Amino acid sequence: MRLRFLAFLAVPIALAGGGWWYATQRPLPVPVAAVQTDVPVTVFGLGAVEARVLSRVGFEVPGTLVEVLADHGDRVPAGAPLARLASASQEARLARAEAAMLSADAALQRAEAQRERAEALLTQRQATARRRRELASRGVGSSESAELAETEATTAQADLAVNRADAAVARALQAEARANLQAERTTLDKHTLRAPFDALVIARSREAGAALNPGEAVFTLVAPDSLWALAYVDEGRAGDIALDQPATVTLRSRPGRPVAARVVRIGLEADRVTEERRVHVRCLACPEMPVIGEQAEVVIETGRLPRARLVPENAIHGFDGAAGTVWVIEDGRLARRRVRFAARLMDGSAAITDALPEDLPIATRTGPGFAVGRAARAVPAP
């Protein structure tokens, strides 16, 4: 009876011992990182399509819009007319300025003719005064006649000075009339809105019949060759971004169809709230009809690693972005090693390129049962 009881008691003890051994002493299967070659180091940024050259253009003068010559989606060369204002009143002011110019020209011609007449008269009276003075000095003529001729010559000289001043005033009035005429012509030209550069019309804000104030936008224009994507990149991952690095841009309207691009500008001021940096990339083959403001996903390749082992960040203890502690298998048992990482990748893993021998397995997943000295065996990571 006693032996039967001991045998019955030994069964659960053996089962418990086996369970304890299985849970704590058996070699623990541990997924380990494989060595990979030519590993791209990428960072991700979310942003939107923008244009470096974007202008909201309108008229410099007020008026009523009578003609609209372009619409959204049109490509217009520099100087092409886009819209016109009613110009009848300005044309009348221009005609009045032209008439004033003709009047100023005629007044100047008259003043110049009077000046020439005064010069001729002065020359004649000076000659008469010299002859009469010579006759008076020889006793042939009277002194009174000579003095009268000299007085007339002096008067003619004063008249010439007056006529010269009148001619100068006429020239000034002509210059003023010319300036007024140019101003009226310029104002009339401002009644036609022209493209300031080779542009793509992306918005038309007003229609014919609208009364416009100076500076009120009628069209929104962009330079097609100035399109780029503005991406906001986490400061913690933006340190290795440099100009001319390759990138890809995926528009929200074109999922799964990334477009090749290059980094063309890196912002020098970070957002103090979101802790992000602004990075501009320019696509190498932009879509035919871009949508300004469309959401874009940007992936920038900051480098490539010839050989590396990738460890998920959730398998690294005390990870600070550059270093941390990982689990390794040494002589068939678990151990912990402090290592530095060469790069952080976009998929949430970190790359180890040195500090640990390649034949030393590194765990890519941790879990219950992990303890220093625990027996373990390496298995390929899924």
CA angle 33, 36, 42 (to 5 degrees): 100
> Whole-prediction pTM value?
0.66
54-86+191-222 folds as OB fold (Dihydrolipoamide Acetyltransferase, E2P) (2.40.50)
Q: What pLDDT is attached to residue 81? A: 95
pLDDT in tens, 54-63: 999 999 999 9
130 compared with 297, residue with greater pLDDT: 297
Domain boundaries of the chain, sorted by first residue: 26-40+305-380, 54-86+191-222, 88-189
Q: What pLDDT is attached to residue 371? A: 84
> Is domain 26-40+305-380 annotated with CATH 2.40.420.20?
yes
User: Reduced to 3 states, what is the DSSP secondary structure of residue 270?
Assistant: coil
- For the chain, where are the alpha helices, taking DSSP H only? 2-24, 88-138, 143-189
- CB contact at 8 A, 294 and 246: no
Which residues on adjacent β-strands are paired with residue 212?
63
CA angle 154, 157, 158 (to 5 degrees): 90
In sequence order, the 6+-apart residues with CB closer than 8 A to the CB of 245 are 262, 263, 300, 301, 302
pLDDT in tens, 329-357: 888 888 888 888 888 888 888 888 777 78
